[in-house]
Amino acid sequence: MSKASESKPETFPAKVLANKPRIKLADRAGEVRELIIEMERPDFHCEAGQSIGILTPLPADADEPFHLRWYSIADIPARDDRGNPNVTIMVRRIVTQDQMTGETIRGLSSNYLCDLAAGDRLEVTGPIGLAFPIPEDTTATLILIGAGTGIAPFRSFIKTLRRKHPDWSGLVRLFYGTRTGLDVLYMNDPNEDLQQYFDQETFDAFRALSPPPNWADPIAWDMAFSERGNELLELMDKPNTYIYVAGREPIRDHLDSLFGKLLGSANQWNLRKQALVAEKRWAELVY
């Protein structure tokens, strides 16, 4: 909920150009939709790893002054004939249950966005945060860990990396955690697999899939990590390895527990993580 002490950010108008399903689920709860939005501001500039804010219209009796939610830019923005940037975002429709009352709760912003049609107008702010800077050293190793919609910033990150540094020779390891096999679909554009950007020798993607087909179940990171534990530890020891993480908050605890196991204790991992953060070799976009 937006806090009363927060001031409403300045917004600018935008228009939905397309809203299509990337992951269809029978009851639509948990579906992921891809929205292409025209920013009606030619001077709007954003980069991979940044997010835009959307203000959801509220009824007069709402118990919050405004409802602002952020969405990662999932593609390098293209400019249309009017010179306006077109930004792609991926939105998961949040439908959840109140733990105490069992009442169904529909996320305000995600349902608002998922229900918009081409031509609808919306209020946008931002962008914020350059979560994942591309290291200057083109031989650096990049370990990218994304869960669910956390894949979105890595889509644009990898495309930018390839565009700005066609000579990139460092290893790129993408771990993508999904709750259902279907989630894998929104990692890629329909005709554009991320792997095409890299030689197989340097780029590899691993999937952590949860066995039950329910989007709300936890992601099975353990297997993906335990199979590659030794490689991960070796890479982490290199001074030019960068680890970037994106997704919903539980990912932080999962990774702490997995890296704790790999290093032998939670304490060892805490110390290692602190050092990586201090050296700017660990960055998180956790929401």
152 is a contact residue toward ligand FAD (CB under 6 A) = yes
Output the smallest distance, CB 107 to ligand FAD, in A.
2
Residue 75: name the closest of 151, 17, 165, 133 by CA.
Answer: 151
Q: Phi/psi class of residue 130: alpha, beta or left (left: φ > 0; alpha: ψ in -120 to 50)?
A: beta
Residue count at the site for ligand FAD (CB under 6 A)? 21
In the complex, least distance from residue 141 CB atom to ligand FAD, rounded to whole angstroms: 25
Our CB check for ligand FAD shows the closer of 66 and 197 to be 66
Q: Which is nearer to ligand FAD, 162 or 248 (CB)?
A: 248
In angstroms, the CA 193 to CA 189 distance is 7
Q: Which of 49, 77, 85, 107 binds ligand FAD (CB under 6 A)?
A: 107
Whether the CB-CB separation of 110 and 117 falls below 8 Å is answered with no
Interhelix angle 250-263/229-237, nearest 10 degrees: 90
What is the smallest separation between the CB atom of 64 and ligand FAD, expressed in angstroms?
Answer: 9
Does position 108 interact with ligand FAD (CB under 6 A)? The reply is yes
176 near ligand FAD, rule: CB under 6 A: no
Q: Does residue 69 bind ligand FAD (CB under 6 A)?
A: yes
66 versus 287: smaller Cβ distance to ligand FAD: 287
Site for ligand FAD in 30-59 (CB under 6 A): 51
Binding mask 236-265 for ligand FAD (x = CB under 6 A): ------------x-----------------
Tell me the residue nearest to ligand FAD as measured from the CB. Answer: 107
Instruction: Return the half-sphere exposure (C-beta side, CA atoms, 13 A cut-off) of residue 56.
Output: 21
Q: How far apart are CA 220 and CA 179, in angstroms?
A: 8
Q: Is 155 in the site for ligand FAD (CB under 6 A)?
A: no
Closest to 74 measured CA to CA, from 28, 12, 140, 18: 18
Query: Which secondary structure element, helix H or strand E, spans residue 54, and what is its range?
Result: strand 51-56
Determine the angle formed by the axes of helices 266-278 and 250-263, rounding to 10 degrees. Answer: 110
Residue 287 makes contact with ligand FAD by CB under 6 A: yes
Footprint of ligand FAD on residues 72-101 (CB under 6 A)? 72, 89-92, 94, 96
When asked if residue 71 is in the footprint of ligand FAD (CB under 6 A), the reply is yes
Distance of CA 175 to the CA centre of its chain: 12
Phi/psi for 278 (5° steps) reads -60, -35
Q: Which residues bind ligand FAD (CB under 6 A)?
A: 51, 69-72, 89-92, 94, 96, 105, 107-110, 149, 152, 248, 285, 287
